Amino acid sequence: MAGVNVGDVDIGAQYTQRPMKFLLPSSCIACKKFQAFSICDKCLKLIKNKQTHRCRQCALPCQAQKLICDLCQRHPPSFDSTICLDGYGGILTEALQDYKYQGKVALATCFTDAWKCAFQNERLFHEEIDWMIPVPLSIKKLHHRGFNQSWELCKRFAKTFNKNADPYILGRNHIEGDQAHATREERFTRLINTFRVNPKRLHHIENQHIVIVDDVMTTGATLNIMAKLLKDFGAQSVHNWVILRTSL
């Protein structure tokens, strides 16, 4: 099925109508120099040059001759691959923070454009993708932030690359508690209980190739739990597309 299936209701639409915050930038999102495109050639070149030395599975920087990093070899994650546009702390960090915390939702389009430019010759867009999904937010968090930064990227990616997107495959519970003072084990248990599969969308998981879209990947624990859940319910492969990747 071609095109974008955004489900019954666009969960972010009611919040993305506030006009002033969502103006498109008229300059490169990285260096801020005025130009017609979302990202200038110079910044694009900087980003592209960093792509060659990352682990194929988790996108952490690794030695050029290695396809998979030592960490993934020792503890293989449930997801099959990760692609990031750049590292956290690099030239896109400020734009990403503006996007996420200042509510500049239009920057999602710029990131998608930059992604397309950076990877236009790569074979990843020819790989089989059945569904693109966001990291879901709990209803409480969605009301607080006003939009799901992951879904805003996801639906633009899906439209750009003519793939299906579905924000309702996984749901997220709001887990109360003091996250900052929780032990590692407590955080892990909470994370496992955080996500749930939508029983009405099982046919979007079984034997499907799924891409999870997110803005920033830090430890990868959240994406790993999601990938495990999707594979437990029969997903054939799970891949991550993230804008920025932190180094551990």
Binding site for Zn ion (CB under 5 A): 28, 30-31, 40, 43, 55, 57-58, 60, 69, 72
Nearest distance in Å: CB 156, Zn ion: 20
| Residue 123: partners with Cβ closer than 8 Å, 6 or more residues away | none
Q: How far is CA 145 from CA 100, 101, 149, 211, in A?
A: 8, 8, 9, 24
Cα(178)–Cα(118) distance, integer angstroms: 40
Q: Which is nearer to Zn ion, 110 or 205 (CB)?
A: 110
Q: Which is nearer to Zn ion, 11 or 28 (CB)?
A: 28
User: Helix crossing, 107-118 with 41-48: angle to 10°?
Assistant: 60
Nearest distance in Å: CB 57, Zn ion: 5
| Residue 202: partners with Cβ closer than 8 Å, 6 or more residues away | 233, 234
Nearest distance in Å: CB 74, Zn ion: 10
Cα(152)–Cα(137) distance, integer angstroms: 12
β strands within 107-177, DSSP E: 131-134, 170-172
Nearest distance in Å: CB 149, Zn ion: 22
Cα(88)–Cα(96) distance, integer angstroms: 9
Cα(35)–Cα(53) distance, integer angstroms: 29
Nearest distance in Å: CB 4, Zn ion: 29
CA 126 to the chain's CA centroid: 19
Q: Which is nearer to Zn ion, 71 or 191 (CB)?
A: 71
Nearest distance in Å: CB 105, Zn ion: 21
Cα(14)–Cα(139) distance, integer angstroms: 13
Q: Which is nearer to Zn ion, 110 or 165 (CB)?
A: 110
Q: Which is nearer to Zn ion, 72 or 169 (CB)?
A: 72
Q: Which is nearer to Zn ion, 33 or 141 (CB)?
A: 33
